[in-house]
Structure 1
Amino acid sequence: MASLSLKNRRIGIITYHRANNFGAVLQCYALQETLSRLGYISFVIDYRQPYTELIYNPVRLDIVKQGLLKPRLLGGYLFKIFPERFKRAKQYNKFRDKYLRCTQPVHDPQSIPQDVDVYLIGSDQMWGLHCSGYKVDPIYFGDFPHPKQSKVCGYAISSNLYSLNKIGCVDLSEYVRNFHTLSFREKTVRDEVKRLTNIEGRVDIDPSLLLNIDDWNQLDLSSSFTKNGKYLLTYFLHEGSDNLYFKTIVEAYARRIDCKVIDMFDIAFSPLTFLSAIKNATGILATSFHAVAFSILFKKQFYALKTTDGKDIRYINLLDVLGIPQRVIELDELLTINDSPIDYRNVDERLDRLRTESIEYLKKL
């Protein structure tokens, strides 16, 4: 993607870049890079959201305090949870330091930088209350001081129906007035916001899909995950994936396609390892939006499993618009499913159209 124009407009991204989560960090990088290639001066406003800082901090004093009365809890934290979280935090901070252009840390709305032309809020679960401790964070809804000549815009904001209805039509109607333009990642979310507020936004692709496979391959994946032999990569974020029946079916499917099972949680502690693991996989099973998105970018054979928590709506919407809704299946279907290859020529044509539409929107900020 070549630079199309030089606008010298300063765009500050507000997102969940501090979450030690593969998708959160990579979508932020992709949005920053896309804006930069369009000629903007793009950077990330380094908002330290309190709940995000708490749950991703490897040092959890609250768990230690609970562990004083529960030795098994304390032992599990000190010898398993803490080492894994510390390793993950170290790798994510390394990625952020190398690839993200961040402002000075921001801890409250009054500290938001004022030398910004466009405050771009998105993507990810910006309006999902579970990401902010089930409280509305005013910054994610554009409620912060900023110069009159600047504007607040959304890009591919995601949420869930529970959060939107919990906020309610009265408050949500007030929040949407903070935005010059609204853009959502899922049609379902766009439609629900319109129902509650009578304000209609647009639908755009997740930032990770704004970059193509060549762009992602330019990252330094050389020291990341490599594995000899064929493997089925699994990345499950829903409850129930640890039960014996679930594991038995996944293992049976892996044997059918002559692969060993490798779980993302066992090998990936950094965004680069996440990308490398997907790139080298023979097949992928996931209940993660970004695992699905990157499976598509790397043209992998994959299935996304249906869940009972409603979060599968994120990749169901994506696969519908890309013309491959059949890649969303029930767990039991793995026992008998015929592994037909994905027609990536058709998928790429659809994705190119969506990418062009979203880039046109970003060019007009």
Structure 2
Amino acid sequence: MKIAILTQPLRTNFGGILQNYALQTVLKRMGHEPITVDYDCVYPWWRWMLGYFKSLVMRTRHHIQYPHYGRSGQENLNRFIHEKITTTKPEVTITKELLESLHPDAILVGSDQVWSPWCNVPIKYLGNMFLDFWPDFPGKRVAYAASFGGGEWIYTPEQDKLCGELAKKFDAISVREASGVQLCKEYFGVEATHVLDPTLLLTARDYELLLPQQQNETNTLLAYVLDIFPEKVAFLEKVSKKYNLELKIKGANDDISWDDSIEGWLSDIRDAAMVVTDSFHGSVFAIQFHRPFLSIVNKRRGAERFISLLSKLDLEDRLVDDVTTYEPTDSAIDWNEVDTRLVKEREMSMEFLKEALG
């Protein structure tokens, strides 16, 4: 089956790139032919300037190529995308004509925050994620691990009406967070299944095969931080001191370095003595590689995704709700129990995909 995938733009987002890689890998193993629509919005000049000055202040490289369409100029990430993910040529809009040229038997929306209004500006991009550009598409319409970005309903009445009508045309819907099941039922009037993020459909061994070197565990506390502020830095320093670890803070998006890569990011997590992160996918890969970790709840970007995943795996004690009051514990993670739960959840998620595309 030919499957066209719509997801968030493949920019300088390690987790966003890897979730699409994982989903394509799974679909290919199932015998399908997936292709991701490689689109991104065009940045206005002021957005480019903002990113440029930020890069100067933070002493990082600027990755937005203006007036080129909004794809990252980071060579290593682009290399991974081109080598590991099947994509269309770069596009700035999603149209019926574009999708028709791919001759898809199914269109799959997901994963990541594809149904979050905040991640799809202006409204036309949110509508795209419900296939508004092809309302009479004759093939299968499937959402896999779609995320609303949080547990609260933030759609405008206009978005509610448009997306609700289109959601009812889907053949199968699954969501990444447990709260998404209720949101779909209450506001769209459709049933949804709670599934794993695509990155968890693969195993640690699958990711090890991407890495050029064997594990070399370090005495490092890796802090992969999306939103940095003084209180968070103080917390990271406190944790590193408690466990006598060398603190290594790694940024994301415009704050990544020119030499960063998917392989390097995965290796840093795998080889760290401990991981502390406010990133959902940072938490995912700490779990994949069995690294002791703490997940700082990122309320601005959506706390529900952390809570939803860690509660499935009985890891709620790894959540840090407030860095100013949290006290690190010495409790060890029972990785055998985590893996047992993960295998069960993986089987259920794979069953959804098989039935939805069958």
8 Å Cα contact 1:129/1:163 also seen in 2: no
Deviation at 1:249, TM superposition (A): 2.5
CA distance in 2, matches of 1:210, 1:294: 12
In the other structure, the counterpart of 1:85 is 63
8 Å Cα contact 1:249/1:332 also seen in 2: yes
Structure 1 residue 249 corresponds to structure 2 residue 241 = no
Q: Which digits, 9 at most, give the CA deviation of each residue in 1:260-318, with x for residues without a partner?
A: 11112266732222111111111111111100111111011001123443612111110
Which region of structure 1 is more displaced relative to structure 2, 164-173 or 114-123? Answer: 164-173
As a proportion of its length, which structure holds more helix? 1
Q: Which digits, 9 at most, give the CA deviation of each residue in 1:29-58, with x for residues without a partner?
A: 000000000111222122x131xx53xxxx
Q: Which digits, 9 at most, give the CA deviation of each residue in 1:306-344, with x for residues without a partner?
A: 34436121111100011111111232455x432211111
3-state SS in 1 of match to 2:293: strand
Are the structure 2 counterparts of residues 242 and 171 from structure 1 closer, same or farther at C-alpha, using a change threshold of 3 Å? Answer: same
CA distance in 1, matches of 2:297, 2:151: 18
Q: Which digits, 9 at most, give the CA deviation of each residue in 1:85-130, with x for residues without a partner?
A: 2686222111111111112334232333221011010000001122
Which structure has more relative contact order (CA 8 Å, sep 6+)? It is 2
In the other structure, the counterpart of 2:178 is 187
Number of matched residues? 337
Deviation at 1:199, TM superposition (A): 1.3
Code of the residue aligned with 1:213 in structure 2: it is A
Are the structure 2 counterparts of residues 228 and 203 from structure 1 closer, same or farther at C-alpha, using a change threshold of 3 Å? Answer: closer
8 Å Cα contact 2:108/2:142 also seen in 1: yes
CA distance in 2, matches of 1:354, 1:284: 23
The TM-score with structure 2 as length reference comes to: 0.85
Which region of structure 1 is more displaced relative to structure 2, 320-329 or 153-162? Answer: 153-162
CA distance in 1, matches of 2:312, 2:113: 20
In the other structure, the counterpart of 2:67 is none
CA distance in 1, matches of 2:224, 2:337: 26
Which region of structure 1 is more displaced relative to structure 2, 227-236 or 189-198? Answer: 227-236
In the other structure, the counterpart of 1:211 is 202
In the other structure, the counterpart of 2:24 is 32
In the other structure, the counterpart of 1:98 is 83
Root mean square deviation, CA, Å? 2.7
CA distance in 2, matches of 1:338, 1:61: 47
Q: 2:263 pairs with 272, 278, 282, which one?
A: 272
In the other structure, the counterpart of 2:323 is 331
Deviation at 1:345, TM superposition (A): 0.8
CA distance in 1, matches of 2:221, 2:337: 24
In the other structure, the counterpart of 2:110 is 122
In the other structure, the counterpart of 1:312 is 303
8 Å Cα contact 1:141/1:178 also seen in 2: no
CA distance in 1, matches of 2:12, 2:118: 16
Structure 1: tracts of 5 or more residues without a match: 1-8, 55-59, 68-72
Q: 1:154 pairs with 134, 143, 162, which one?
A: 143
Structure 1 residue 61 corresponds to structure 2 residue 45 = yes
Identity %, equivalent residues: 26
Are the structure 2 counterparts of residues 74 and 109 from structure 1 closer, same or farther at C-alpha, using a change threshold of 3 Å? Answer: closer
Deviation at 1:132, TM superposition (A): 2.1
The TM-score with structure 1 as length reference comes to: 0.83
Are the structure 2 counterparts of residues 27 and 228 from structure 1 closer, same or farther at C-alpha, using a change threshold of 3 Å? Answer: closer
8 Å Cα contact 1:182/1:202 also seen in 2: yes
Structure 2: tracts of 5 or more residues without a match: 65-71
Are the structure 2 counterparts of residues 77 and 148 from structure 1 closer, same or farther at C-alpha, using a change threshold of 3 Å? Answer: closer
In the other structure, the counterpart of 2:338 is 347
8 Å Cα contact 2:115/2:148 also seen in 1: yes
Deviation at 1:253, TM superposition (A): 1.3
